[in-house]
Amino acid sequence: MRKINEILAVVILSLMAVLLAAVGMRLYDTYIINRKIESEIKRQEEVLSRNKEAQDRVQEMRQEIEQMSEDRVKLGQFLEEIRIDSGEVVPVSAMMDLGAVGMSGNRTVSENEPDTSVEGEMSDGEQSLSDNDTISGNVSSVSDNATSVSENMTSVSDDTTDVSGNTTEVSGSDIVSGNDTISGNASGISDNDTVSGNMLDLLPKIEMVSPETTLAQRRQIRSSLEETLLANWEDQACLEERCVDFSGKKIACLGDSITAAANLEGEEGYLSYAYPSVLKETLGAEEVYNLGIGGSSIGRYWSDAFVERYQQIPEDTDIIIVMGGTNDGFCLSEKEFGSLAERKPWTFCGDLDELMRGLKENYPDADIFFVTPLPNILQDYLTRERDYLLPQKNLSDVILTLSAAYGFRVIDLYNSNILDSHDADIVADYMPDGVHANKAGYRILAEHIAAEIVRSYEESE
């Protein structure tokens, strides 16, 4: 009996040892997990703090741009400086001996805009080049060896139409008058103007481009102002001729401050100028819901993330438009950007994937459009101070890739060269703070989105 008791005691002690070991391992695992959670929370707090500083800096930059937008020449010089720092523009001094070609001051040559300089006398309304002016356009007369530049640089050829003085064949709501010219440096377009009339007569040498053309390629063909005017003329023609009926459609617009019509808050009834309101008016839709919140991002690393509020979209919505990524661009290092291979939460790739998956599952009957962000100069301006930031193109590429994977339609603003605030004329006429539009800019944006929706429906019929 004593031996049996001893054996039982050993068994009990062994079981207790195993139990204590299991409890110890469990406690250790819990400790490790809690440490990881605490570490991740701390990292997230650091990211949010860093991103708040970046967003605050963006607000200061907006004010700087807005103040400069009243002086087109000063604004152009400033934007050119940022583009040079970002590597987008190559200074003339890097390509040729300035003294040998008789150029003075700090002039630079942009690689990204069409050839626009003056041959002979300049038409009314154009300005001469001062010492600090930049020359936009490709300097086509610079030889391969960069040893000479023709006397007139890249001149406006004889067959280029100058719209000055008497404007011809502009019908409808004319927007070109007086001394305005349709060129990279066109000016004088007021807030309420839109592009109408016979645009093809104003731009006789229109080079057709494929929808797959990239932003960099489009910039080689036309300035953003030229592209914007041409696209708006085409959009208005599309909307006038449309045969799709949207009168019974309900549309939801999920977005950030661009959807919420930032820049116009001080005006009574400013939301009537927001692109969702203009969309309702233009398409004649039954209802358009504006779910734009200023400062919001697609991912969770900033405020009011789309991925956490998309379920606010009414269930009976017929068309969902998601336009974001601008604020994400002001936040993302490679770590927060993530990868399409992993798609982790709290990364752009992961949260965007979760957003798209949620929309697909929760709104199976809705037609879903994703809109890539407009290219903006503030991204390059901020990157000059924070070199961890990624190019906007990275975000656009992921939106395009995941939209294709989920079968969503895309309105690719990023590669459209429309309302690109790297163009001083776009900032001066349509985007006064470099990222948000004025009334005319929001209307152009709304008409383009509306026309792209119409084209998409017409193609699918």
- Answer whether residue 107 is part of any domain: no
Residue 102 pLDDT > 60, yes or no?
no
Does residue 80 fall inside a structural domain?
Answer: no
User: In which band, very low, low, confident or very high, does the pLDDT at 24 lie, cut at 50, 70 and 90?
Assistant: confident
**Type and span of the H or E element at 290:** strand 287-292
Categorize the per-residue pLDDT at 41 as very low, low, confident or very high, splitting at 50, 70 and 90.
Answer: confident
Which pLDDT does position 396 carry in this prediction? 97
Tell whether the model's pLDDT for residue 163 goes beyond 50: no
**Is this model's pTM higher than 0.75 or not?**
no
Residue 114 falls within a domain, yes or no? Answer: no
Residue 338 DSSP class: -
Number of CB atoms found within 10 A of residue 163's CB:
22
Per the domain annotation, does 164 fall within a domain?
A: no
Q: Is the pLDDT of residue 162 over 70?
A: no
Pairwise CA distance, residues 206 & 234, whole Å:
12
pLDDT digits (tens, 9 = 90+) for 417-429: 999 999 999 999 9
| Angle formed by the axes of helices 72-85 and 377-385, nearest 10° | 50
Closest Cα partner for 221 from 129, 116, 95?
Answer: 116
Q: Quick check: is 60 in a domain?
A: no
**Number of folded domains that form the chain:** 1
Residue range 67-77, pLDDT digits in tens:
998 899 999 99
- The predicted structure's pLDDT at residue 28: 78
272-302 residue pLDDT tens: 999 999 999 999 999 999 999 999 999 999 9
DSSP 185: T
Instruction: Specify if 10 maps to a domain.
Output: no
Whole-angstrom CA distances from 59 to 56, 144, 218, 327, 330 are 5, 43, 29, 12, 11
pLDDT, tens digit, 9 for 90 and up, residues 352-372: 999 999 999 999 999 999 999
pLDDT above 50 for 325: yes
Pull the structure tokens for residue 78. 């400033």
Q: Can you give the pLDDT at residue 255?
A: 98
Cα four-point dihedral sign 366, 417, 419, 350: positive
Structural domain that includes position 215: 201-460
DSSP assignment of 426-441, as one string?
A: HHHHT-TTSSS--HHH
Per-residue pLDDT at 101 exceeds 50 = no
**pLDDT over 50 (residue 120):** no
Tokens matching residue 80: 């050119």
The reply to whether 380 falls in a domain is yes
Residue 24 within a domain = no
Domain with 403 in it: what CATH number?
Answer: 3.40.50.1110
Residue 150 has pLDDT above 80, yes or no: no
